[in-house]
Structure 1
């Protein structure tokens, strides 16, 4: 069990949440170190954007501990699983990350990290739990309307969080095998994209021959696009896993 692991976990999360941002398509708008102005004002009523820019390290840790770490009961989760669930919670809300964990653990899904959820999570192999929760996280962000804008960055972050989480509970050979598997999957998917976009496009067209040509072309483009993005995702995973394996 990972007691007092928040500093290590938070350091990983802040590598992606660090700095100021105010992207017009980011629903959180003004954000510093992953903390929105609305969230900051719950701890410091009346705070301005300037105050948020100057937020102290102590305030940052307090907000992440109160609002996220304690919500997912990070101190009660196995090292590695804590990072996976916490980072997902920071990005998409603790309730959503808890629900993903509950779905994988096979317990009632209510978004509340109760004793039954903790017990079930601790009873499962950490490596499997980490992989499956991160896969659910990836599936969720892919469903968002802003995925076209932020998707590549989100998937890179998820790949890195998965790799780091696994590095905390895996041997070097296990990490090397994970990287090899991801690389092999990416290569197979790349081959599938080529076939679908090349000679395979004719087969696709035959199956859709009753539809207008424009619709057929659009369908093939979408299919190829999905395959290509899967290649990108597994290439990101392979690179992240190879990095932590090298450092192990």
Structure 2
């Protein structure tokens, strides 16, 4: 783009990120101004400098890390106004690849490539065909929120993430429409990293298999008991209890089979929805 919004975007991202945090449930671990200790260590080692606490990170180091690892990674200078900031903020929070995937999916039929998290020519070409970037920003943010809700850490950081995404949406839409963007607001928890490694586990189909298997086995037992009753009935006048047993076994077996099949359908549907929210659906 002719005009870079990197510094303006970074200023707003830093408000969302806040200062030093080390929340026990934040997968980012010790983090200062959005830079994790792990990222800071790699940065220092790359410059052949001794590692140190991320608490001591300097302003110049912060800018260089954000510039190279996030803004350049999403090709911020090649993105439309507003979209650049939205994709940049998502990259800082969940990684560049994940944020690019949200963009690729939000582009819909305009983007015909793989949802691979790479800002290549196909993605940039599709972007140039968009004639409503504020609506595109809505879709990007919707993808991002669905992803965050699919993480185990949503229970802890959901409120902060929701507030952050809402703020990012408002700022991005304002830039996209040429308006003055609102101020960024820091909400505690919104700075927590949202990584796919912390995705919720899909529901297991084991209970369904067990129930279905139990139902089939129960039906077999009911058949055996019925055969026994047929053999005893000529010589017994009190086989009514056997009939009751057969009926009960038949009903329970049917319920187990039906319940097992229903739960298997539910589990598979929920797993597919989870995979879709995590951008892991078959391409």
List per-residue Cα deviations over 1:169-213 (Å, max 9, x = no partner).
2267xx9xxxxxxxxxxxxxxxxxxxxxxxxxxxxxxxxxxxxxx
Instruction: Say if 2:100 is the partner of 1:95.
Output: no
Report how far residue 78 of structure 1 moved: 0.6
* Count of residues paired in the alignment: 172
Report how far residue 138 of structure 1 moved: 0.5
Instruction: Say if 2:36 is the partner of 1:53.
Output: no
Report how far residue 113 of structure 1 moved: 0.2
Describe the shift of the 1:38–1:135 C-alpha distance in structure 2 as closer, same or farther (beyond 3 A): same
Report the counterpart of residue 43 of structure 2 in structure 1.
Answer: 43
Aligned mate of 2:134, from 124, 127, 131: 127
CA RMSD of aligned residues (A): 1.8
Aligned mate of 1:140, from 139, 147, 157: 147
Report how far residue 54 of structure 1 moved: 1.9
Spell out the pairing of 1:61-210 with structure 2 (5 A cutoff). Answer: 61-105=63-107, 106-108=111-113, 109-124=115-130, 125-170=132-177
Which is richer in helix?
Answer: 1
Taking the aligned partners of 1:35 and 1:145, their CA distance within structure 2 comes to 22
Q: What is the TM-score when the length of structure 2 is the normalising length?
A: 0.58
Taking the aligned partners of 2:174 and 2:19, their CA distance within structure 1 comes to 26
List per-residue Cα deviations over 1:24-55 (Å, max 9, x = no partner).
00011110001011101111124222xx2121
Q: What is the TM-score when the length of structure 1 is the normalising length?
A: 0.66
Q: Secondary structure at the match of 2:74?
A: coil
Report how far residue 16 of structure 1 moved: 1.1
Which structure 2 residue ranges, 5 or more long, are not aligned?
Answer: 183-283
| Residue range with higher mean Cα deviation, 106-115 or 147-156 | 106-115
Describe the shift of the 1:153–1:55 C-alpha distance in structure 2 as closer, same or farther (beyond 3 A): same
Contact 1:2/1:79 (8 A) holds in 2: no
Which structure 1 residue ranges, 5 or more long, are not aligned?
Answer: 176-248
Taking the aligned partners of 1:32 and 1:137, their CA distance within structure 2 comes to 23
Report how far residue 2 of structure 1 moved: 5.4
Q: Secondary structure at the match of 1:3?
A: coil
Asked which structure has the greater CA Rg, the reply is 2
